[in-house]
Amino acid sequence: MTPRPGDPVPDFTLPDTSGADVPLRSNGAAATVVVFTCNHCPYALAWHGRINAVAREYAERGVRTLQICPNDAERYPRDAPDAMRARVEAGEFAGPYLHDGSQEVARAWGARVTPDVFVVDAGGRLAYRGAPDADHGDESLAAAWLRAALDAVLAGEPMAEPLTEPVGCSVKWRR
């Protein structure tokens, strides 16, 4: 069942593009951003720079960012591990890019589209779920909703808007 704001989020460990297992939980993280994304979706690509700019900036404040590709790589070869690795090696990701080959993590989190953004507080509870900002086509928005969520979590304050509508390409489920 999709976690709601305030709910504990489902745990996971997934491989990164080098094959190393990366757990959701990490001691000392002030917050964790989990983004279901992919290589072939124009919405994911349009928001990618903004999301990774936030990941770089907020890493200095103890925020981890885990990006996960959940798509069926057989039907969508551009989302296969080799293509993921190529992007990581090109320096396109500010943190680990994880492969959810079984799609079990995407199902457990209720991911619907790419990108689908979740912010988790230090206690492992969901603080925000939705889009990075209001318009994939307007870079000046700078992932403002994601930034607001992180600022609230880091300040220990309640979120004004803990849920927004995620916008993007549907997750490509296996048939």
Partner 1 sequence: MTIELLYWEGCPSHPQALAQLREALADLGHPDAEVVLREVETEAEAAELGFCGSPTIRVDGADPVPPPPGEPTGLTCRVYQLADGRYSPTPDAGLLRDGLRRLIATVEERRR
Q: Which structure tokens are listed for 37?
A: 């994304």
> Is residue 45 within the footprint of partner 1 (CB under 8 A)?
yes
State the virtual CA torsion across 150, 117, 80, 74 in degrees, nearest 10.
Answer: 160
DSSP letters for 82-119: HHHHHHHHTT--SS-EEE-TT-HHHHHHT--EESEEEE
Going residue by residue from 105 to 134, which x/- string records binding to partner 1, judged by CB under 8 A? ------------------------------
Could you say whether residue 87 binds partner 1 (CB under 8 A)? no
Question: What's the burial of 66, exposed, middle or buried (CB within 10 Å: 0-12/13-18/19+)?
Answer: buried
Among 19, 91, 137, 156, binds partner 1 (CB under 8 A): 137
Piece of the chain touching partner 1 by CB under 8 A; list 22-30, 41-49, 82-90, 122-130: 41-49
What residues from 60 to 79 belong to the interface with partner 1 (CB under 8 A)?
75-77
| Residue (96 or 168) nearer to partner 1, CB | 168
CA proximity to 122, closest of 12, 16, 22, 9: 9
Check binding of 43 to partner 1 (CB under 8 A).
yes
Q: Is 169 in the site for partner 1 (CB under 8 A)?
A: yes
* Euclidean distance between CA atoms 150 and 31, whole angstroms: 7
Cβ proximity to partner 1: between 31 and 41 the closer is 41
Given the rule CB under 8 A, which residues bind partner 1? Answer: 40-43, 45-46, 75-77, 136-137, 139, 167-170, 172
